[in-house]
Amino acid sequence: MRKISLSIFLSMLIACNSTPKKTNKPLYTIVIHGGAGTIKKENLTPKKETAYKTTLEKALRIGNDHLKNGGTAVETVELVIKTLEDSPLFNAGKGAVFNNLGFQEMDASIMDGSNLSSGAIAGVTNLKNPIEGARIVKDSTKHVLLYGKRGQEFCINKGATYADSSYFYTKYRWKQYQRALKKDTITLDHTVDKTLKKFGTVGCAVLDTYGNLAAGTSTGGLTNKKYGRIGDSPIIGAGTYANNASCAVSCTGTGEFFIRGTIARDIAALMEFKGLNLQEANKETLEKLNILKGRGGFIAVDKKGNYSMLFNTRGMFRGIANSKGQFTTAMYK
Ligand code: ASP
């Protein structure tokens, strides 16, 4: 008996010390967006273009490194979105757009594709990183969506960082709001004219090295939006969706159309029920968005590390990095 135990022990020791078997390199993919809209080279000064590129690359690098080092999909989504929220360039966190009463009300959501757990926050004004609030709702409540002052208070009590309203202010957004107010229009971000063409929301979709998917989205919504209006970004199935059975998706665009069209969930459902691959499902959903006359785009990743970044606007701030060494950002069509 003793002899057998000893031999088992020895073989275990050998197994532990032997060089690990060569396995396939763990697969990961990260896609990000910083909003879609009238993003044309002639509308951006070289300085602005560099600033956007640098920030997109910074966020992508942070996400890529986290995944490479074994970070989970959910952690990566939160980390990357925080980086984009902290930049005044995008319509999320610092630099969020103003509503019709001159307040910055922000929405965000996050979803874990491995168990469908989800968290979202809507209409918050003082969470430095709304995505942090969304993560807290996901992890510390039995609910999916909390809103307004009370929702914000809950997140702060659970450790979310508070920021004074002045932190979110940027002159550029204020001017944008003043113009929209004068013309009585509701505008999306990255617009150069008076029509509904601007989206500056940020989002991230990830496949991690454990084979799990996650997605998240964060936004200030639309310039001059009605006080209290909630868009698609904090709505699971509209602006964000993740399911290990299909894909992870984050959207940007005219939120009402994404809610009516259940755009994020549609992409996943087309894969789950119709057997489409990621590209086909994204293409078909973009056609649906066109029919609905919604404007914007979406990024998505599947279990195999395939990705898609489609939009029906002039451009979309976007980026992709993966375990195969791909690392690219883009803005224009
Ligand atoms: N989808 C966001 C909203 O409607 C706006 C955006 O993507 O920029 O709130």
Q: How far is the CA of 10 from the centre of ligand 1 (A)?
A: 61
**Atom in ligand 1 nearest the alpha carbon of residue 220:** 9
In this model, does residue 214 exceed pLDDT 50?
yes
* Run of H or E residues at 146: strand 145-147
Q: Which residues line ligand 1 (CB under 6 A)?
A: 35, 91, 188-189, 199-201, 219, 221-222, 231-233, 239, 252-255, 296
28-37, 41-50, 278-287: segment of lowest average pLDDT: 41-50
Closest CA to 30 of 264, 324, 284: 324
Active site residue 201: yes
Instruction: Report the nearest-CA residue for atom 9 of ligand 1.
Output: 221
Q: What is the pLDDT of residues 56-80, one digit of tens each?
A: 999 999 999 999 999 999 999 999 9
**pLDDT of 228 strictly over 90:** yes
State if pTM tops 0.85: yes
How confident is the model at residue 13, as a pLDDT?
44
DSSP string, 203-255: EEEEE-TTS-EEEEEEE---BTPPTT---STTSBTTTEEE-TTSEEEEEEE-H
pLDDT at 110 over 90: yes
> Percent of the chain having pLDDT more than 70?
89
Average pLDDT of the residues of the chain: 91
The active-site residue out of 72, 201, 223, 262 is: 201
Q: Whose CA is nearest to atom 7 of ligand 1?
A: 252
Read off the pLDDT of residues 297-306 as tens digits, 9 standing for 90 and up.
999 999 999 9
Q: Whose CA is nearest to atom 5 of ligand 1?
A: 221
> CA-CA distance, 240 to 215, in Å (whole number)?
6
pLDDT tens figures, 133-191:
999 999 999 999 999 999 999 999 999 999 999 999 999 899 989 988 888 777 666 55
Q: Which domains does the chain have, with CATH numbers?
A: 29-332 (3.60.20.30)
